[in-house]
Structure 1
């Protein structure tokens, strides 16, 4: 029997769409290839001047690669990154994330190329093809920076060690260099930059992270206000103060445009109880995502402890009542003449049975999550 390929559904669908569209694009280019003209496919790729009549290309163009080099990297990225994130989040959350990080960067890149044409009157900008998985790839790097911010990747047998949040900027630098070669179009740089900011903004402020079990709070928490996921953490140390100051102004603008929800006093106090962090504009805390989970675990532990105490009290009470109840006189049964001796079958007393249940079988039911054992 051949080995079963274990790929989650959304990742599988995305890989199939990437393969089908990329192969179709390659076949069309092969049939229409000439040495004197550049081939564009406006109904498959997003071309600002030609694709307005094909609105689906604003989304589907992300899953079209034009050469074997970028196609191979896209397959590896979607296969490994998609499987990891789909299992860490869920199929529905990964699907929403892919739609956001595909559609928004393509729209922003489309508007940028139109603006460049308006300023330069160079038609080359409006005939530039917007395609490829670049926004998805850098979005996966941003998502990994959120999930494992302290993880360090060692390269070249220990010669180079980099934390995961350093990779998005390195990726943008590599895309910028390759955009100067025939491998990538000039739109690739804009796709990488817009993909970075789109994915970080979505994960920072909008993505649901954990359903809160406390009835006095909203049904879910959104975003990730942890200090390790602040925008300045993606930049080198000398640039962080400037990035933090700029991000604060951008956050104020987004709040004014009602694209982000301003932080309330309850959010700030919850963040302070959850463990601090910076509380200035973009870096302000809604509450660390793990704080809701830790609070829920603590409440479960307290509930289990109270239930355990009630069970012990109920068992002890029933044992005491059984011991105080009048005992009926024993019935003596004469042995049969053929018996060689009396047969005695010992039954455990009710009191000892209750004690055995309370101390031996039931035991002590404690649920103490890590770090919460001393909180009651």
Structure 2
């Protein structure tokens, strides 16, 4: 029998909502398109028929204002600031968005839990939609408003945010494409994705993709960097052996400059440091202490992609327990080697005491390993 694939509850709900809202949108657009086509003379040539079909996919006149964001009009439907992210206009974009939700949602919800994942999805979809809506609404107010304003919809902001979150959890992981012909590090994917949408937006006429991907990138990084609460393992030296909650992610591997190649760091780091200092002075974010930076660096090294993808809920805790158990085993091996060297042929009269000490060290290390095994379960 093929392996059973299970999805966490919120990821499953988002996938179903994406399919349901996109299907409803397609039905309503088809009805409007059919009504519009019947009210006009039939196109005399095949080329005009193709143009009319293409108009079904791209025309803002067919936007459904109570499903997607239409500047100014959708103010009467406030739920569209969330629902617009789960509406796609064509099968290709629907398949891509579904794949993003399947992979990214399954991974992140298992890593953070449903509650933490829900907060993340809410912030990184609603805030970019509000900002993009405000920009277009302001533009239409100060300029001659077109008869049909540009609709705002799609999962691009959430897609960019998923890449940022994956970068936080697996900064050193490498993705291989085309049987290893192309290798990309996850930490560079968010910037590449955003850059691709910045370039393709003006060229393909999808300028909303430019704003949604860019704002999704910034919103998710700011939220994860400064505001998301994270549990620190009770064994962390930064907390003196006590469990604690750390706000944000102060690790060096999640700095803004780390999203870009090393050649850009000398130029980006001073600018980012100056902006960060200004935000701290304005009390918009709290400064990171050296202890929290150390804890963040240790935590970023302990997380891993395979453990989170293969495990269920609490994958991060399992990864930490396994890491600590591996360290205890390594310490045991080093102590046994040292004891063997001390009780060698040239050890002299002190060999018996060294052997007794080695036995004590071995028992201590075994106790540590056993304790770590209990914590892992």
Q: Return the TM-score normalized by structure 1.
A: 0.68
Q: Distance in 1 between matches of 2:270 and 2:86?
A: 36
Q: How does 1:181-200 map to 2 (within 5 A)?
A: 185-200=206-221
Partner SS, residue 127 of structure 1 = coil
- 1:208 corresponding residue in structure 2: 229
- Structure index of larger Rg: 1
What does residue 173 of structure 1 align with?
A: 195
Q: Kindly indicate whether the alpha-carbon contact (under 8 Å) linking 1:116 and 1:125 is maintained by their aligned counterparts in 2.
A: no
Q: How many residues align?
A: 293
- Contact 2:253/2:297, CA 8 A, preserved across alignment: no
Structure-to-structure mapping, 1:233-272, within 5 angstroms: 233-263=258-288, 267-269=289-291, 271=293
User: Residue 229 of structure 1 aligns with which residue?
Assistant: 254
Partner of 2:299: 289
Please report the TM-score for the alignment, with normalisation by the length of structure 2.
0.68
The yes-or-no answer on 1:152 pairing with 2:177 is no
Task: Kindly state the Cα deviation for residue 157 of structure 1 after the two structures are TM-superposed.
Answer: 3.0
Contact in 1 for aligned 2:225/2:248 (Cα 8 Å):
yes
- Matched position secondary structure for 2:230: strand
Distance 2:225 2:128 in 1: 17
SS in structure 2 of the partner of residue 221 of structure 1: strand
Task: Point out where structure 2 has 5 or more consecutive residues left out of the alignment.
Answer: 37-51, 303-316, 329-359, 371-377
Change (3 A) 1:134 1:363: closer
Distance 1:126 1:254, change over 3 A: farther
Q: Which digits, 9 at most, give the CA deviation of each residue in 1:113-133, with x for residues without a partner? A: 2343355x1424981111110
Aligned pairs for 1:271-350 within 5 A: 271=293, 288-289=298-299
Task: Report if the CA contact (8 A) 1:48-1:126 is conserved.
Answer: no
Where do residues 347-362 of structure 1 align in structure 2 (5 Å cutoff)? none
- Two-structure CA RMSD over aligned residues (Å): 3.5
What is aligned with 2:114?
91
Report Cα offsets for 1:89-112 as digits up to 9, x if no partner.
111111111001101111111222
Tell me, yes or no, if the aligned pair for 1:210 and 1:289 is still in contact at 8 Å: no
- Structure 1 residues 148, 2: CA separation in 2 closer, same or farther (over 3 Å shift)? closer
Deviation at 1:257, TM superposition (A): 4.3
Distance 1:231 1:93 in 2: 22
**What per-residue deviation string (whole Å, max 9, x for no partner) do you get for residues 334-361 of structure 1?**
xxxxxxxxxxxxxxxxxxxxxxxxx9xx
Query: Residue 71 of structure 1 corresponds to which residue in structure 2?
Result: 94
Match of 2:47 in 1: none
Please report how far the alpha carbon of residue 205 of structure 1 lies from its aligned counterpart in structure 2 after TM superposition: 1.4
Q: CA deviation at 1:154?
A: 2.0
Distance 1:174 1:141 in 2: 14
> What is the aligned partner in structure 1 of residue 305 from structure 2?
none
Q: Which moved more, 1:31-40 or 1:8-17?
A: 31-40
Q: Shift of the alpha carbon at 1:3?
A: 7.2
1:248 to 1:204, Cα distance in 2 relative to 1, 3 A: same
Question: CA offset at residue 287 of structure 1?
Answer: 6.3
Residue 67 of structure 1: CA displacement?
1.1
Report 1 or 2 for greater relative contact order, CA contacts < 8 Å, sequence distance ≥ 6: 2
Q: Report if the CA contact (8 A) 2:71-2:150 is conserved.
A: yes
Matches within 5 A, 1:37-76: 38-76=61-99
